Amino acid sequence: MKKKKVNLRDLNKTSSDTHKRNDGHNHSSPESIGKFKVYVPAIFSFVMLIIGIAMDYFDVAFFKNWIRIVWYAVAYLPVGFPVIKEGWKSIKNGDFFTEFLLMSIATIGAFAIGEYPEGVAVMLFYAVGELFQSAAVKRAKGSIKALLDVRPNEALVYRNNNYVSVNPETVAIGEKVQVRVGEKIPLDGILLSEKGSFNTAALTGESKPDTIAKGEKVFAGSINLDGVIEIETTKEFKDSSIARILEMVQNATARKSKTELFIRRFARIYTPIVVFLAIALTFVPYFFVVDYVFSDWLYRALIFLVISCPCALVISIPLGYFGGLGAASKNGILFKGASFLDEMTKITTVVMDKTGTVTKGVFKIKEIKAIDWEEAEFMKYLMAMEEQSTHPIAKAIMEYKADGEDFQATEVTEVAGKGLKGTVNGKTVLVGNKALMTSNNITVPTETDNIVESIVMVSIESKFAGYVIIADELKEDAHEAIRQIRESGISKIIMLSGDKDSITQQIAKEMGIHTAKGGLLPEDKLDEVEKLKKQPDTKVAFIGDGINDAPVLAASDVGIAMGGLGSDVAIETADVIIQTDQPSKIARAIKIGRSTRRIVWQNIGLAFGVKIIVLILGAGGLATMWEAVFADVGVALLAILNAVRLQKMKWK
């Protein structure tokens, strides 16, 4: 059954180019007037209905015959005409069995047998239900539509010795862009200024400002908070972070869950059956009932039609999933479709990468051990040598801050697979691994044999001078992430990493992960996940962040990419994106998925349960049109309110 917008809500449309007045007086904006207009037909019908019922109750003398009919007809038209019009359009398009047709037949039939207040009431409550649905959808879309507000619409580009304002879509890679305080970063780029502070809430869901240093990445959609800055663009606008996120969100709303698709297919079969049953309920009793009265059985059939209208199902289920997508987006989690909200509820095994997923993927100095040297002086010898290298470990060492004048290295040569050899302050210096030391007859302390992290050894003048341990740093919420995943009921957590096995095992042990494998190539990770998937009753979620994780992300039941602003390939392949790089959001994604599914099934149970009870009562003549109104519109309203709860929940 197709769900279309009723014209009742179209009254809310206002011209997009209408300007707001700003002359110091308090004027109602066209937008607020438009929002009020949408409620006018329902308010008018409600007032007319209440007055009509009151005049019926007090038996007002003039309120008889044609005056009474005209009064209720006037009350009916503002809410009924848009629905009848939509029903007629559906028939012309070949779609006969819609809720518009059901409501039209039921209410016009009520007028035909003289039940005027009931006819108006049914259509009025249906219109109110449509308004509630519209408001609920707008609320569910709120956090998603907020992303549209951060899409930059101009860029100050340095061209011809001057900054000119242009459309971001016309800016090429490598151009210099200026961003003033309070403005949005128009394209992804590298910060040219010394530092900058940015609000990245629209991209990551985190309200805490992000401080970026010169040479680091900045992302489109971030808001510059401190001083005028300059960036050099690294991507075209269509490939920028905000453009990718918008595209993913828009695609997500179009991808339906299996439950949602089933209900829509069910409604297409269910609705015509209901119509034919109503017809049968009107005429078949003629052959079996002695005192058959046509109007009585027609009334029962009309009640049957109103009760059986599948509005609550068709409205609330998509709205439930939409609410889940909106709640996730608000928390910095992007699902690429409602189907993945369902899949998250079935996960039994979580497999995660190490580097960039639970660790920061950035080398840091963990420990410095200088033997017979002051630490600062020892580090100056080491830094003088490592200054010649571009290796990530060398970069980590160069971050060390030592007072005084730096040392300079000369005659630096690379020893393949072992390290560096050179001269610093007239002294011969070796920097590298144990193999470099032993090949130069330098005795290495046995304590280094138990160190599993990356280690840089130093000898000065043929004597072992000390070592530096370099390690990847755990993310702040890594331990919390594992705890929360276990609390969600998933006990099987596995770590697979391309890093050497000893480091992988140490990180896994530190985090309380009992199964871990290191030294794996991308195809090895893929084999491990495929083996897990073959186990009975196993659904695997894989969390990764890099290009090398793309095959496993694609093969897993749910692929989760850490770093929505990271590897393009991982983002394109994954089903769920954690925009904040926080592994603790994995458990939150599971909770949102489960809550969404629970609310959807609550709505299904509520709709079917109430409808079946009132259908039986209606067919037996024990339910009136008022019970029918509750069974249809009342249940729809309750289901909508239940779905809206997803937007109000606090996720931890």
Average pLDDT for runs of 10 along the chain of length 652: 39 34 42 69 94 92 92 95 89 79 80 85 80 66 52 85 90 93 88 86 60 85 86 87 63 56 70 84 90 88 76 72 81 83 93 86 86 93 86 83 86 85 94 92 90 89 94 88 94 88 88 90 87 93 80 89 63 81 91 92 86 80 76 76 76 68
The rounded distance, in Å, linking the Cα atoms of 571 and 565 is: 8
pLDDT for position 133: 66
Q: Which CATH number fits domain 155-186+188-234: 2.70.150.10, 3.40.1130.10, 3.40.50.300, 3.20.20.70?
A: 2.70.150.10
Q: Is 353 a catalytic residue?
A: yes
Whole-model pTM: value is 0.65
Instruction: Tell me which residue of 65, 90, 117, 24 sits closest to 629, measured CA to CA.
Output: 117
Q: Which helix (H) or strand (E) holds 473?
A: strand 463-474
Amino acid residing at 545? D
* Cα–Cα distance measured from residue 221 to residue 583, given in angstroms and rounded to the nearest whole number: 23
Contact present, 77 and 44 (Cβ < 8 Å): no
How many whole angstroms separate alpha carbon 312 and alpha carbon 170?
47
Which residue stretches of 98-115 are H helix? 99-112
Instruction: Tell me what pLDDT residue 492 has.
Output: 94
Q: Cα(280)–Cα(282) distance, rounded to whole angstroms?
A: 5
361-474 maps to CATH 3.40.1110.10 = yes
Phi, psi dihedrals of residue 320, rounded to the nearest 5° = -60, -45
* CA–CA distance, 147 with 247 (Å, rounded to integer): 11
Residues 6+ apart with CB under 8 A from 519: 497, 498, 499, 500, 501, 504
Dist CA 11 CA 239 (whole Å): 37
Task: Output the pLDDT for position 347.
Answer: 95
Q: Is 240 helix (H, G, I), strand (E, B) or coil?
A: coil
- Residue 272 has a CB neighbour count (10 Å cut-off) of 12
CB 547 within 8 A of CB 570: yes
Range list of β-strands (E), 110-263: 155-159, 162-166, 176-179, 189-191, 195-199, 210-213, 217-218, 223-224, 229-233
- The reported pLDDT for the residue numbered 354 is 87
Pairwise CA distance, residues 430 & 180, whole Å:
48
List, edge to edge, every strand of the sheet that includes 359-370. Answer: 359-370, 463-474, 454-460, 427-432, 419-424, 409-415
Query: Given this model, what pLDDT does residue 261 score?
Result: 63
What CATH number belongs to 332-359+475-593?
3.40.50.1000
Question: Which of 188, 210, 342, 353 is the catalytic position?
Answer: 353
pLDDT for residue 267:
67
17, β-bridge pairs: none
Boundaries of every domain in the chain: 7-146+252-322+594-648, 155-186+188-234, 332-359+475-593, 361-474
SS3 309: coil
